[in-house]
Amino acid sequence: MADQVDSMSDAELRTKLAEHGFPIMPITASTRKLLVKKLKLVLDNKTKPRTSVDNKADTRRSLARYSSGEESDLDTTTNAKEKRGRRATTGGAMLPPAANKTRRPPPKKGSPAKRDSDKGSESDEEKPAVRTHEEVETVTTRTIKRTYAANDQDDYETGSDSDVDADKKTSSPFRSNSRSSDYISSTLPSVDVGVGISPPKTSVFSRASIIPTNYSSSYSSTLSSSDNLNSIRSRLGLTSSLADRPTIIPSSSYTSNYSTNTYQPSTSTIDEVESPYLSNFTRRLSALKSDPPRSTSFLDRDTNNGSTVLPRRSFVTGINRSDIGDYKSATDKKFLKNNLVSLALVVLVALFFFCLFFMYIVKKNDITSVADDQNSVIPICQLHIPGNRPGINCVPKEQVSYAKSLLKLIHPELTARIAAYKCGQPGSLPYLTEREIIDIASAKAETSDVSQCRTDLNNLQVLLINNPRWGLKVVQLSNLYTKDAEFTTISATDLIVQQRAKGTVAISLTDPSTPLSCLFINTLYSAGSSLIIIALLTLLGLGLQRAYKYYVLYQKRKSEEIYSMVEQIIDVISQETEDSGEPYISVDHVRDTLILPQNREKMASVWDAAVKFIQRNESRVRMEVQSVDGEDCRVWRWISPHSSPKRSASWQGQAFETQEGSVNNLVVSPTPCLKIRHMFDKNDNNSLLRVKIQDAILEKCDSHCNILHIDIDRTSGCVYVKCASPTDAGVVYRSLHGWWYEGRLITVKYLRLERYMQRFPASPSAGPFLAPKRHSRRDD
Amino acid sequence: MSSTSQKHRNFVAEPMGEKPVTELAGVGEVLGKRLEVAGFDKAYTVLGQFLVLKKDKELFQEWLKDTCNANSKQSADCYQCLKDWCDEFL
């Protein structure tokens, strides 16, 4: 196994180390050797079945002792102080790691010699079974070792010793997880012994109750992490419930039970790391309970070790998921059961309201029930009353039913018409004229007796006027030939007679209802149209706002341009008049100096505005007409008393000494780059600020130094200067640091070249040095 | 560790910069030479290893023993030195 470690890949090595409780750390060329060595040592200790539990606990407790782990076989009862002393001496004489391989075999040889005793044969039997499961190699070897220890009667006493030892340990909490779990498994045999040896105890407590309490109490003494403890306890609750079963359970089913149940909550890595030990624990419980012949149980367990730990993933993915699914469906069922009554109530209420609504709809349209109502006023024609005229103000008794049937006949048609009208269908009218009614009646009744239909209609009209609650009305059309649906209601029977001759009588509904679908569509239409209107208005508003913003921006930019132009003009005038000695300068000349030829047409308006501004608001400049080279042209005369007000305003003197020998002067200038603070105000929006600053710096330093690049950072208010050499930077530093510039005290710092290049990657590293604008202009 | 050496205090007092490996507490001339042969010529390279080993005392001491045959005291001093430095400056 130790040979495999050498050829392991980094990832394998890491996982192996993690399995053994080492912190996961990067495996590099320099650390690999060390980690490989560690792993080998651990594996060596594992494969030695003859070492007592005490030894194992001792050697694993402190990783510092791995170097001297070979000696731990010899002496286990020496106290920690003696050991440290020994380690100090052996450590000094230690050989380089390559020599360790040669040193390791002796203890290995020593252990088989011990193994020749009675239990040695069992460990030999186990080994082949272990080798077959290479994936879980380390885990299985562990568990086998433990089970072996559990059945080894001689080790019990030393096992209890390891209890005490482990309590004393003071190591980092990170590693204590795995160690204490080791410790648990190593203390278990002693607990088992207690149970097995003293029968009175078992009479008082059940076995399962003793083991967990011992276990957890000893555990809590070593492990401070409470959540770990909780998880363990929950598992113990599980195992105790299993252990309470009186029947003898075969170990195979037992372990599979365990793995399905305990892997369910395993989400943290700690759980996964610890799970082998716990499985071991439960297995031992099962072994105690079932107590089968030893040799067969070993074989069983071996196969189980392989099968239960190997398909760990499959348990997690397969069984566990189905468990969750079952659980889900179970909860769903429970939910349904609990809320059945309330759900039914809700459904009943909904049904009730639906029925009500349905009945309302049906009732409203049911003309037959209304017409056959006993409360209807039916003026029956009686012969002995002289005013009675059939078809005009009364109805013959035998013809009432005919009239009613006619009503029932035309009502659906009328409703359909009203609906169509309400829905806005073109060409539909909200009434039925007499002619149409007669047509419908004759078609439906299949009688060609038009006069009979006519009589029925007259009777019906009389009935309708007398019964307004039937929901129908007799109307008089205002204009028969247009498609306009204008009509007036007729409330007296006498009027009908007059209108009948004109043929403008029709029947309509008093309270026409709109069908739901139409209502819906109409609402949609109106909503849509209003939405569109709102959207249009919003767009319009946004557009206006945008336009206004743009306009304001444009104005601002324009005025800024004008102001900057004015400043430039004044600058040029002051400089030129000073330089040339003439007190005035041609306006066109200034323009041609400032504006490039291709921009002159474009900038004409700006220029004119600037000229006007200067004429109106600039007191230092006076515009006049002079003859220049025999030609009259407009000129600006600089009438400021100061020859160069700007120059004197910019550099206002030194605040403190920076010359040779002063405290503020650095002897050597470390870098060629500088950072100048407080040279301008952060709120300064002058677009020509950079040029201005550059000119000011170059002017101040004059021609003493070679500056490659100057730039400003408006957000931080810093100016960055890159010089050709550190010496030049020193010159700039001395000539700028501690000076007052336009009322501000500026400070200069050296900046590393890398940082400068990071900020201004495009800054030149060689080439032409910067020269003041003014000079270059004069050279032109 | 009740008291620390002058070397330890010197090292922990300031950023290590480009200090040679011999400035580390517990690393003298002999160990320094061995470490230089192994490629660890500056203190910061040892710091790098220290950090790669996640400031683990046992592993770092083990590594130092392997690399330059340091004894327990030397490695413990070196470990403490780097740890204090890290607490201060990292």
Q: Are residues A509 and A536 in the same domain?
A: no
Q: Where are the beta strands (DSSP E) in B1-90?
A: none
Domain count, chain A: 4
How far does the CA of residue B13 sit from the closest CA of chain A (Å)?
25
Select the residue of B53, B61, B65 nearest A31 (Cβ to Cβ).
B53
Verify whether the Cβ–Cβ distance B69 to A28 is below 8 Å.
no
Residue of B nearest to A92 (CA): B71
Q: What is the distance in angstroms between the Cα of B54 and the nearest Cα belonging to chain A?
A: 7
**Residue A595 to residues A588, A606, A732, Cα–Cα distance (Å):** 10, 11, 32
CATH of residue B44's domain is 1.10.150.40
pLDDT at A48 over 70: no
Q: What is the pLDDT of residues A456-503, one digit of tens each?
A: 788 888 777 777 777 777 777 776 565 556 677 777 777 777 777 776
A237 Cβ under 8 Å from any chain B Cβ? no
Chain A residues closer than 8 Å to B49 by CB = 30-31
**Greater model confidence, A97 or A719:** A719
Residue A596 banded pLDDT, cuts 50, 70, 90:
confident
List, as one string, the DSSP characters of A443-501.
HHHT---HHHHHHHHHHHHHHHHH-GGGSEEEEEES-SSS----EEE--SHHHHHHHHH
| More confident of the two residues A575 and A531 | A531
pLDDT above 50: residue A604: yes
Q: What is the pLDDT of residue A549?
A: 96
Mean pLDDT score, A566-571: 86
- Among B45, B64, B66, the strongest candidate for a mutation testing the A interface, having the largest count of A CBs within 10 A, is B66
More confidently predicted of A543 and A46: A543
Residue with the larger pLDDT of the pair A741 and A25: A741
Whether chain B has a CB inside 8 Å of the CB on A92: the answer is yes
Q: How many CB atoms are located within 10 Å of the residue B10 CB?
A: 13
- The residue among A470, A490, A514 that closes a domain is A514
In the prediction, which pLDDT does A388 show?
67
Dihedral, A186, A187, A190, A196 alpha carbons, nearest 10: -90
Spatial distance between the Cα atoms of A179 and A172, rounded to a whole number of angstroms:
11
- Domain assignment present for residue B49? The answer is yes
Shared domain check, A750 and A656: yes
Provide the pLDDT for residue A349.
95
A87/B54 Cβ within 8 A: no
- Counting one residue from chain A and one from chain B, the pairs whose CB atoms sit within 8 A come to 56
Q: Give the range among A330-334, A634-638, A677-681, B79-83 with minimum mean pLDDT.
A: A330-334
What is the pLDDT at residue A287?
55
Does a structural domain hold residue B26? yes
Contact criterion met (CB < 8 Å) for A23 and B54: yes
Position B34 pLDDT exceeds 80: yes
How far from A15 is each of A10, A20, A62, B66, CA to CA, in Å? Answer: 9, 9, 21, 23
Are the beta carbons of A555 and A547 closer than 8 angstroms?
no
Beta strand A707-713 pairing with A718-723:
antiparallel
Chain B residue with Cα closest to A68: B62
Residue of B53, B61, B73 with shortest CB distance to A64 = B61
Are A468 and A510 within 8 A, CB to CB? yes
CA geometry: angle A263, A269, A274, nearest 5 deg: 65
The better pLDDT of the pair A527, A228 is held by A527
Domain boundary among A460, A481, A514: A514
Please give the average per-residue pLDDT across A88-113, as a whole number. Answer: 42
pLDDT band at A83 (very low <50, low <70, confident <90, very high): very low
| Residue A185 clears pLDDT 80, i.e. is over it | no
Q: Hey, which of A472-481, A546-555, B2-11, B19-28 has the most confident mean pLDDT?
A: A546-555
Residue A389: what pLDDT? Answer: 67
Same domain, A540 and A505: no
Instruction: Select the residue of A31, A92, A172 nearest B52 (Cβ to Cβ).
Output: A31
Task: Kindly list the residues from chain B whose CB atom is less than 8 angstroms away from the CB atom of residue A87.
Answer: 72
Residue A439, in any domain of the structure: yes
pLDDT at B87 over 80: yes
Element (H, E) at A281: helix A269-290
Mean pLDDT across the stretch A171-200?
41
A84/B contact by beta carbon, under 8 A:
yes
pLDDT tens for each residue of A401-460 = 787 777 777 877 888 887 787 777 777 777 777 777 777 777 776 665 777 777 878 888
Measured CA distances, B8 to B25, B32, B34, B42 (Å):
5, 15, 20, 16
Q: Would the pTM of this model clear 0.90, i.e. be above it?
A: no
Do residue A624 and residue A729 come from a single domain? no
Whether residue A101 lies within 8 A of chain B, CB to CB, comes out as no
Residue-number span of the structural domain to which B55 is assigned: 6-89
pLDDT at A285 over 80: no
Q: Is pLDDT of A162 > 70?
A: no
**Would you state the pLDDT for residue A163?**
42
**Nearest residue of B to residue A94, measured between CA atoms:** B69
Confidence at residue A479, expressed as pLDDT on a 0 to 100 scale = 65
Residues A551, A623: one domain? Answer: yes
**In a domain? residue B15:** yes
In terms of pLDDT, which residue wins out, A40 or A23?
Answer: A40
Contact B49 A31 (CB under 8 A): yes
**What are the strands, taking DSSP E only, across B15-87?**
none
Q: What is the mean pLDDT of residues A35-57?
A: 65
A721 and A655 within one domain: yes
- Tokens of residue A324, six digits: 């969750």
More confident call, A751 vs A324:
A751
Closest residue in B to A174 (Cα–Cα): B56
Considering the domain boundaries, does residue B39 fall inside one?
A: yes
Q: Is residue A304 part of a domain?
A: no
Chain A closest-CA separation from residue B66 CA (Å): 5
Q: What's the pLDDT at A50?
A: 44
The answer to whether A26 contacts B52, with C-beta atoms less than 8 Å apart, is: yes
Q: Which residue has the higher pLDDT, A27 or A62?
A: A27
Residue A195 banded pLDDT, cuts 50, 70, 90: very low
**Domain assignment present for A711:** yes
Split at pLDDT 50, 70, 90, the class of A550 is very high
Judgement on whether residues A620 and A685 belong to the same structural domain of the protein: no
Residue A181 lies in a domain: no
Alpha-carbon gap: A28 to the closest alpha carbon of chain B (Å):
8
Length of chain A: 780
Phi, psi dihedral angles at A224 (to 5 degrees)? -90, -25
CB contact under 8 A, B63 and A31: yes
Q: Please check whether residue A85 touches B, CB under 8 A.
A: no
Which of A31, A87, A172 is opposite residue B72, by nearest beta carbon? Answer: A87
- Number of Cβ within 10 Å of residue A4's Cβ equals 14
What is the tens place of the pLDDT at every residue in B39-61? 898 999 999 999 999 898 988 99
Quote the minimal CA–CA distance from B6 to chain A in Å. Answer: 23
Q: Give a yes or no: residue B1 inside a domain.
A: no
- Chain B contact present for A29, CB below 8 A: no
Question: Which chain A residues are Cβ-neighbours of B66 within 8 angstroms?
Answer: 33-34, 37, 96-97
Look at A34 and B58 and tell me if their CB atoms are within 8 Å: no
Contact state of A64 with B58 under an 8 Å Cβ cutoff: yes
Mean pLDDT throughout A180-206? Answer: 41
Percent of chain A with pLDDT over 70: 53
Residue B71 lies in a domain: yes
Report CB contact under 8 Å: B71, A67: no
Domain with residue A732: its CATH number is 3.30.70.330
Confidence bin at A255 (pLDDT 50/70/90): very low
Query: What are the chain A neighbours of B30 within 8 Å (beta carbons)?
Result: none
Q: Would you say residue A109 lies in a domain?
A: no
C-alpha to C-alpha distance for A649 and A646, rounded to whole angstroms = 5
Res. B38: pLDDT tops 50: yes
Task: Say whether pLDDT at A38 is over 80.
Answer: yes
Quick one: pLDDT band at residue A542, thresholds 50, 70, 90? very high
Would you call A96 an interface residue with chain B, using a CB distance cutoff of 8 Å? yes
* Residues belonging to chain B with any Cβ–Cβ distance to chain A shorter than 8 Å: 49, 52-54, 56-59, 61-63, 65-66, 69, 71-73
Residue B34 inside a domain? The answer is yes
Contact residues on chain A for B72, CB-CB shorter than 8 A: 84, 87-88, 91-92
* Interface touch A25/B59, C-beta < 8 Å: yes
A103 contact B CB<8A: no
A98: left (phi over 0), alpha (psi -120 to 50) or beta: alpha
**What's the CATH number where A613 sits?**
1.10.10
Q: For the residues A240-261, what does the mean pLDDT come to? A: 42
**Amino acid present at A293:** P
Determine contact, residues A275/A266, Cβ cutoff 8 Å.
yes
Predicted pLDDT at A365: 57
Tell me if chain B has a CB within 8 Å of the CB of A23: yes
Facing residue for A88 by CB, picked from B53, B59, B73: B73
Higher pLDDT, A678 or A110: A678
Q: Which residue of B has its CA nearest to A93?
A: B69
Q: How far apart are CA A166 and CA A58, in angstroms?
A: 8
Question: What mean pLDDT is reported for chain A?
Answer: 66
Contact by Cβ (8 Å): B55, B43: no
Residue A343 pLDDT exceeds 50: yes
**Greater pLDDT, A671 or A195:** A671
pLDDT of residue A715 exceeding 60: yes
Q: Which residue has the higher pLDDT, A397 or A175?
A: A397
Contact of A58 with A165, CB cutoff 8 Å: yes
Least confident of A134-148, A461-475, A643-657, A694-708: A134-148
Lowest mean pLDDT among A578-582, A642-646, B30-34: A642-646
Residue-level pLDDT at A470: 75
* Within-domain flag for B33: yes
Rounded to an integer, what distance in angstroms lies between the CA atom of residue A752 and that of residue A478?
99
Give A401: exposed, middle or buried? Use CB within 10 Å, 0-12, 13-18, 19+.
Answer: exposed
Residue B40 CA to residue B49 CA, distance in Å, equals 9
Q: What is the pLDDT of residue A300?
A: 42
- Shared domain for A617 and A662, answered yes or no, is no
Structural domain boundaries, residue A576: 530-638
- Does A170 contact chain B (CB < 8 Å)? no
Task: Determine contact: A66 vs chain B, CB below 8 A.
Answer: yes
Answer whether residue A176 is part of any domain: no
First to last CA, chain B: 22
Amino acid at A621: V
Q: Is the pLDDT of residue A54 over 80?
A: no
Confidence of residue A740 (pLDDT cuts 50, 70, 90): confident
Residue A570 has pLDDT above 50, yes or no: yes
Chain B residues close to A64, C-beta within 8 Å: 57-58, 61-62
Band (pLDDT 50/70/90 cuts) for residue A545 is very high
Quick check: A620 pLDDT over 50? yes
Total domains in the fold of chain B: 1
- Angle (CA) A30-A35-A40 rounded to 5° is 140
| Same domain for A550 and A487 | no
Quickly list DSSP for A136-175. Answer: THHHHHHHHHHHHHHH-GGGHHHHHHHHHHHHH----HHH
Alpha-carbon gap: B86 to the closest alpha carbon of chain A (Å): 18
Residue A539 scores a pLDDT above 90: yes
- Which carries the bigger pLDDT value, residue B69 or residue A451? B69
